[in-house]
């Protein structure tokens, strides 16, 4: 029996790197990677939360409200899925 440990190795390579609180560049990079993750999550939520049901009538504010809701959800969820940390680690290694 052969054990596939590729996922373990990937997680080891992108383990949480310490962010130096004194380094302004690290803080700015982390902020940008969190924003990118929020953008990605918003795109997923926009697709997943489409409500095309004829059961609920549409009014003028539906699209605006749904967009604002998805924006708020994506901002609050960013930094918790691991995309931001993975991108941060990758970009920090490249410097």
Rounded to whole angstroms, how far apart are CA atoms 77 and 5?
29
* pTM score, whole prediction: 0.67
| Per-residue tens of pLDDT for the chain, all 95 residues | 555 555 544 544 444 555 565 588 889 999 999 999 999 999 999 888 877 767 767 787 888 888 899 999 999 998 888 999 999 999 988 76
Count up the domains in the chain and report the number: 1
Cα–Cα separations (whole angstroms), residue 9 to 3, 6, 13, 64, 86? 12, 5, 6, 43, 13
Whether 26 maps to a domain, the answer reads no
Whether 16 maps to a domain, the answer reads no
| 3 Cβ neighbours under 8 A, 6+ residues apart | none
Q: What angle (nearest 5°) sits at the alpha carbon of residue 71, between those of residues 24 and 25?
A: 10
Q: Could you list the residue range(s) of the whole structural domain that residue 87 is in? A: 35-95
Whether 4 maps to a domain, the answer reads no
Using CB atoms within 10 Å of the CB of residue 92, give its burial: 0 to 12 exposed, 13 to 18 middle, 19+ buried.
Answer: middle
Whether 80 maps to a domain, the answer reads yes
**78 close to 37: Cβ distance less than 8 angstroms:** yes
């Amino acid at each position: 029996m052969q054990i596939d440990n590729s996922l373990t190795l990937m997680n080891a390579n992108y383990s949480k790197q310490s962010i130096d609180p004194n380094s302004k560049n690290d803080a700015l990079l982390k902020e940008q990677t969190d924003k990118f993750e929020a953008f990605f999550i918003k795109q997923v939520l926009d697709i997943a939360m489409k409500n095309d049901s004829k059961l609920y009538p549409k009014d003028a504010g539906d699209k605006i409200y749904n967009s604002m809701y998805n924006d708020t959800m994506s901002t609050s969820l960013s930094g918790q899925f691991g995309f931001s940390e993975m991108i941060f680690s990758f970009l920090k290694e490249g410097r």
